[in-house]
Amino acid sequence: MVHQQRSQAHLSPSSDTEDMTMLLAPRLSYFAGVARTEHVTRAAQEMQVPQSTLSRAMVRLEQDLGVDLFARHGRTVSLTPAGRTFLTSVERALAEIGRAADEVRADADPATGKVAFGFLHTMGAETVPGLLHAFRADHPRIRFSLVQNYGEAMIERLRAGELDLCLTSPVPDAPDLVARRLDEQKLRLVVPADHRLAARKRIRLVEAADEMFVTLEPGYGMRRITDDLCKEAGFKPRIAFEGEEAETLRGLVAAGLGVALLPPPTVPRPGVVELTVTAPRAAREIGVAWLADRPDTPPVAAFKRFLLSRRGNLLP
């Protein structure tokens, strides 16, 4: 019995606040209308509700609050000091609700709405700008909120409702997601320009088994792919440095600090040589993912159709 009483006492303030909000919320706009006109009949006409409904709502509102909001003078009313205090907060709350409604309607507008789009760092320099340029040829006023991150972080943001779509690799496989493969990107073994393997054009990955590797941090898709490819080649890579961006890793390779498995650069990097890996097959799949069972706004649906139309032709 003591435990139950403590639990109820702990939960009571929060529960009371939620219950009061649910009681008050439907009547706030009625209250603001009566307060603005100071006349129940006129307010009822403006809001197109029966006067009896409005009168009962104001009586119930005062009963729920336990204070008089109006002084009544026949058919007219005037705010009490408590009513004026309450009106200030009610008008602020209603204005905020109005702004929120305008924002979500604007974001869903077929011509001018917004898409929250996530993508990998390695796709930010060339691939995504090219995609957006092509898409906006037919949808010039659709807006984008762009997020660059690694794969797992973007999936978390999808699930949190912060992203509508994301380009990621590997293509995720989860029951709450829908994912479609769009393209494939060959990976290369990047070595310093003065490295013993730099004169080669092709290499089997096992030939780099004794090298120190620089990789992305755990959690990044490329790190997982690197680990898996090395395992398939029969060795576990020795990690010298871990980073967060592919071009940083290229800089580390150029400085002679290791070798790396990476997608092709947008612009050739001095100081490194990029070798084709012949075995195992070194490539990463690029896909688009979104939450299953979440309805799309028209701009999101349009951009999703556009991305799916680029299958096999996503990468420059």
Q: Which residues of 40-52 are buried (b: 16+ CB within 10 A; e: fewer)?
A: bebbbeeeeeeee
Q: Are residues 220 and 176 in the same domain?
A: no
Is residue 5 one of the residues assigned to a domain? no
**The pLDDT value given to residue 204:** 98
Closest CA relative to residue 66, chosen from 82, 53, 54:
82
Is residue 4 one of the residues assigned to a domain? no
Per-residue pLDDT reduced to its tens digit, 97-106: 889 988 999 9
Q: Which of 73, 108, 143 is the last residue of a domain?
A: 108
**The pLDDT value given to residue 310:** 96
**Rg of the Cα trace of the chain?**
30
Q: Are residues 156 and 290 in the same domain?
A: yes
* pLDDT < 70: residue spans in the chain: 1-23
Q: Are residues 87 and 201 in the same domain?
A: no
**The pLDDT value given to residue 40:** 87
Between strands 177-186 and 283-291, the pairing is antiparallel
**The pLDDT value given to residue 23:** 67
Between strands 260-262 and 76-79, the pairing is unpaired
Q: Are residues 25 and 101 in the same domain?
A: yes
Q: Are residues 120 and 145 in the same domain?
A: yes
Q: Check if the beta carbon of residue 213 is closer than 8 Å to that of residue 258.
A: yes
Q: Which residues of 113-140 are buried (b: 16+ CB within 10 A; e: fewer)?
A: bbbbbbbbbbbeeebbeebbeebeeebe
Per-residue pLDDT reduced to its tens digit, 29-82: 999 999 988 888 888 898 899 989 988 989 999 998 899 999 988 778 999 999
Q: Are residues 268 and 291 in the same domain?
A: no
Q: Are residues 68 and 179 in the same domain?
A: no
Q: Are residues 237 and 269 in the same domain?
A: yes
Structural domain including 231 reads: 188-281
Q: What is the DSSP letter of 276?
A: E
Distance between CA atoms of 37 and 214, rounded to whole angstroms? 71
**The pLDDT value given to residue 7:** 35
Distance between CA atoms of 278 and 313, rounded to whole angstroms? 23
**The pLDDT value given to residue 266:** 84
Contacts of 47 (CB under 8 A, 6+ apart): 29, 30, 33, 54
What's the total number of domains in the chain?
3
Between strands 238-243 and 76-79, the pairing is unpaired
Place of tokens 């978390």: 156
Look up the CATH number of the domain holding residue 127.
Answer: 3.40.190.10
Q: Are residues 203 and 269 in the same domain?
A: yes
pTM across the whole model: 0.79
DSSP character string of 80-146: -HHHHHHHHHHHHHHHHHHHHHHHHHHHH-TTT-EEEEEE-GGGTTTHHHHHHHHHTTT-TT-EEEE
Instruction: Using CB atoms within 10 Å of the CB of residue 77, give its burial: 0 to 12 exposed, 13 to 18 middle, 19+ buried.
Output: buried
**The pLDDT value given to residue 6:** 33
Q: Are residues 126 and 104 in the same domain?
A: no
**The pLDDT value given to residue 154:** 95
Closest CA relative to residue 207, chosen from 274, 258, 278, 144:
278
Distance between CA atoms of 166 and 146, rounded to whole angstroms? 10
